Structure 1
Amino acid sequence: MKALSLFSSRHSYLKYIALILTLLVIYTLTHGSQLNLQNEQIQQQQQQQQQQQPKDINKEIPPPPQQQLNDQHIQTPEKIETPPNVQEIINKEEIKDYIKQSENLPNPIKDTHQSSSSEITDITNKININNNNQIFEQSSPQKSEKVKATFVTLARNSELYDLIKSIRTVEDRFNRNYNYDWVFLNDEEFTQEFKDLTSSIVSGKTKYGKIPQEHWSYPDFIDLKKAEDSRKNMKQQGIIYGDSESYRHMCRYESGFFWRSELLKDYEYYWRVEPGIDIMCDLNYDLFKFMKDNNKLYGFTISIHEFEKTIPSLWEHTKKFINDNPQYLAQDNFMDFISDDKGKTYNLCHFWTNFEIASLNFWKSEAYTKYFDYLDSTGGFFYERWGDAPIHSIAISLFTSKQSIHYFDDVGYRHGVYGQCPLNAQFRYDKKCHCKADDDFTFRGYSCGKKYFDKMGLKKPDEWESYQ
């Protein structure tokens, strides 16, 4: 009865509720602290285990290769965070395969100082993460082996739409895989349209420069009346560009000044591209890297005879320079290509410079700069009509070993009426060439291709006799 009266009393009921709540609070506090203590102990144990265990590099995604990676300063960051959408794009099986292949790779943190550049290349080129965080397989080319090289184009604003076709064919056939820069030069300021359109289709960086007036004008020592009379005389003779002043400035600039441009100071090699050219075969290797790896200084696609009436005194001046400076004549030179009588006369053979891949350092050499300065002092660029092609060709043939010269027989190149096309049908199919062997100029009568092969000691293509 007392118990019943206790529960029936409102006052006693409230006391009972308070007692129950007090017991619950005491229980929670005592057991909760024990749980927190246990969690802290577990976390401390996990941290100690992580510090004792070596880092597993196979769980890290390697850093993306940089577009402008310098071969001599390769750095491997310790860690790179995966972009948010990577897991949505990467195939899980590809990740498993990559982790399996990565088991024997060096630790990027502990062994960076021991890793060779080739080992780092293997790591960075397996997966490439571009600016849009998209993932794609990167098999070739190897971006970490890029050469300090650029394309060079001398063009007027009025040539923009002819030039766009040239850029497009070079990009499609070659540069879309390598993203080399492009330097544009003009004796006037480039228009904004020129800059916008060219930069939109070049995969590398674009640079634009105005030629200094002193590089595109008459030197003080030139007799302007004599130069004018020479142009009139050549026009009467029907000599191509015989009466053109701008053509003479262009040839002088390409011979002695383009390689002095500040825009080219950071490059070792260049590839000259002009409006109206076509590249007709896929180029699935880095031509710049080929040049550097094989110690080549000059590469060409077409050789041809010069118009003798444009350079009547060039060889006599060249012989005088050599007689006065015999130290510049290379021992294993290519005199046999440009002269059929051991240097007495010039046979007019030269490399067509509207396509050339060459070393900028060669033009900057003492031998070439002094050769150009001497030729320039004679006034032959304006009193006659000296082209940059014979001057480049004579210099590279005399001042370096002939082994530094290379004929690119696989480009499929055309400029105007002359073209170079691989003669082997299977090769043309494999490289998706859109040229015909019948149009190849290499072994035709007016070409110097046959002489080049003979004097270089090279085996001609099996098909060459059918295309003479």
Structure 2
Amino acid sequence: MLVLYKTTNVLRSSHDLTFVTLAIVMAKYSSPALQVLSSPRRYIPLAFFTLILGHYLLTTIHSGYGEATSMSRLAESWRKVAETTCNSTVFLPPKPSTSASDSYYLPAQSSPVPSGPRPVIEVEKFSPPSRKANAAFVFLARNSDLAGVMQSMKHMEDRFNKKFNYPYVFLNDVPFDKKFKYHTSLLTNANVSYGVIEGAHWNQPDWINEAQAKANRQWFKDNNIIYGDSVPYRNMCRFNSGFFFRHELLKQYDYYWRIEPDVTFFCDLNDDPFLFMQDNKKVYGFTIALYEFPETIWTLWNATREFIQMYPEYVPEDNAMAFLSDDGGQTYNNCHFWSNFEIGDLNFWRSEAYTKYFDFLDSKGGFYYERWGDAPVHSIAAALFAKKDQIHFFENVGYRHAPFEHCPTGRIHAQNKCWCDEANSFDNPDNDPYSCLYRYNALWGPGTNRPKWDP
């Protein structure tokens, strides 16, 4: 009791209540009854007493220690912890600095970091469109492509279509199942249509010599030509070349944007590319231009030359022949626009010039005896049957279809909030010598500027 009495006489603050409480406990367990315990256990109370005595001496001698361990300070600490874990505003990121000396963020170390002050980017607030083009997105997909289709749709909706609400048209050679329709329709507020392709527009024609076609497919396979032995791939190329624009679900539209499963759109689009095409009388838009495998199109250019000799009136002046040929049309340099991204004028494909051209090519059987792709077919037709300024490079659209991508640069990259690495862009001449973009740019010659979309 003497210890307890002296202790209560020197209480200085609320934290000393701890000492008093523990001292009472020590007094209790220091009673004679505790002495009957076995020898090792007898030292436990002694150890506690020693710790408490040390704590008390420190609070008496060292004022800082006493303040830090006071009950009021501990209570304040617990109150702050409770606020931090319960109030979500604590986790808000810091406000971005507006200092002109901020460094410019780029997503990868491989890109050069611009020097000097961060560029000031004025991003206009988006206003709902007052008008729209008569246009739709077109997907050629299978039920098994659902995951990839959803990825592509999510990118498109987030970057563009949630603001513009253009419809989607899905096409398949078999009916889409309920799961496909359910999940794709959930991703957009726009209208969604699902169509089945006619057998005559999809399947290999009966007049194709299957024995010859099979032997040729085996040769492609033996020589490691991609999709070399695939009949469905050939069906797809033929359909996209000559029949997609004839489908009943697309007859009501004037413009289309082709999208494939598993593609990525890197940048915001606050302006309407469909309206740009319409207002500027463009017929074909692309993001990536590259070389085709020459083994897959052995006779395509010869067939094209034969057609042009028959119908020279279909080729206008100021065409883009120079994109296709380095010798005035004698040979084909194999350059084409990558057609997995296309924004185009459906009426251009419906024109007399193109439909006759496709029918002529189809009669040659090259889609099955060789492996003619819709990309070179569309590219040749656009370059020959349209004027060069009707073909547009959408440099502001960040896009990836593995393994290649186009990434905008400079001001466009920053303004459109692109998250791709500029150094990885396929049309970077230091990165990919197989890009044909320089041939497209050369169409306008030195001292002239090609048309640009600069929204």
Q: TM-score, normalised by structure 2?
A: 0.69
Q: Which residue of 1 aligns with 2:327?
A: 341
1:451 pairs with 2:436: no
The CA deviation string for residues 196-240 of structure 1, in whole angstroms up to 9 with x for no partner, is 111111231000000011111121221011111111010001100
Moved over 2 A (4+): 138-144, 456-460
Question: How far is 1:313 from its partner?
Answer: 0.3
Residue correspondence of structure 1 range 68-467 to structure 2 within 5 A: 140-424=126-410, 426-442=411-427, 443=429, 444-457=432-445
Any idea what the Cα deviations from partners look like across 1:38-73, whole Å, max 9, x if unmatched? xxxxxxxxxxxxxxxxxxxxxxxxxxxxxxxxxxxx
Q: Where in structure 1 are there 5+ consecutive unaligned residues?
A: 1-137, 461-468
Q: Indicate conservation of the 8 Å contact 1:141/1:178, yes or no.
A: no
Tell me, which stretches of 5 or more residues in structure 2 are unaligned? 1-123, 451-455
Q: Measure, in 2, the Cα distance between the counterparts of 1:155 and 1:330.
A: 35
Higher relative contact order (CA 8 A, sep 6+): 2
RMSD (Å), alpha carbons: 1.6
1:141 and 1:310 map into 2 onto residues whose CA distance is 47
Distance 1:212 1:451 in 2: 38
Query: What letter is aligned with 2:232?
Result: S
CA distance in 2, matches of 1:160, 1:336: 40
8 Å contact from structure 2 (residues 296, 371) kept in 1: yes
SS of residue matched to 1:144: coil
- Tell me how far apart the structure 1 counterparts of residues 407 and 221 of structure 2 sit (CA, whole Å): 34
Superimposed CA distance per residue, residues 251-285 of structure 1 (whole angstroms, 9 cap, x where no aligned partner): 00000000001101111000000001100010110
In 2, Cα distance between equivalents of 1:329 and 1:141: 41
Give the whole-Å Cα distance in 1 for the aligned partners of 2:449 and 2:409: 14
Taking every aligned residue pair, what percent have the same amino acid on both sides? 52
Give the SS at the match of 1:174: helix
- In the alignment of these two chains, the number of paired residues is 323
Cα distance in 2 for residues equivalent to 1:422 and 1:163? 24
Kept in 1: contact 2:388–2:443 (CA 8 A)? no
- Mapped to 1, the partners of 2:416 and 2:204 lie a distance apart of 46
Asked if structure 2 preserves the Cα contact closer than 8 Å seen for 1:251 and 1:387, the reply is yes
User: Aligned equivalents of 2:298 and 2:169: distance in 1?
Assistant: 34
Matched position secondary structure for 1:184: strand
Please list the CA deviations of residues 54-112 of structure 1 after superposition, one character each: whole Å capped at 9, or x if unmatched. xxxxxxxxxxxxxxxxxxxxxxxxxxxxxxxxxxxxxxxxxxxxxxxxxxxxxxxxxxx
State the 1:459 CA deviation: 5.2
Asked whether the equivalents of residues 306 and 348 of structure 1 are also in contact (C-alpha less than 8 Å), the reply is yes
Report deviation, 1:141: 4.3
Query: CA–CA distance in 2 between the matches of 1:264 and 1:144?
Result: 23
CA contact (8 A) 2:284 2:342 kept: yes
* Offset from partner CA, 1:356-402 (integer Å, 9 cap, x none): 00000000000000000000000000000000000000000001111
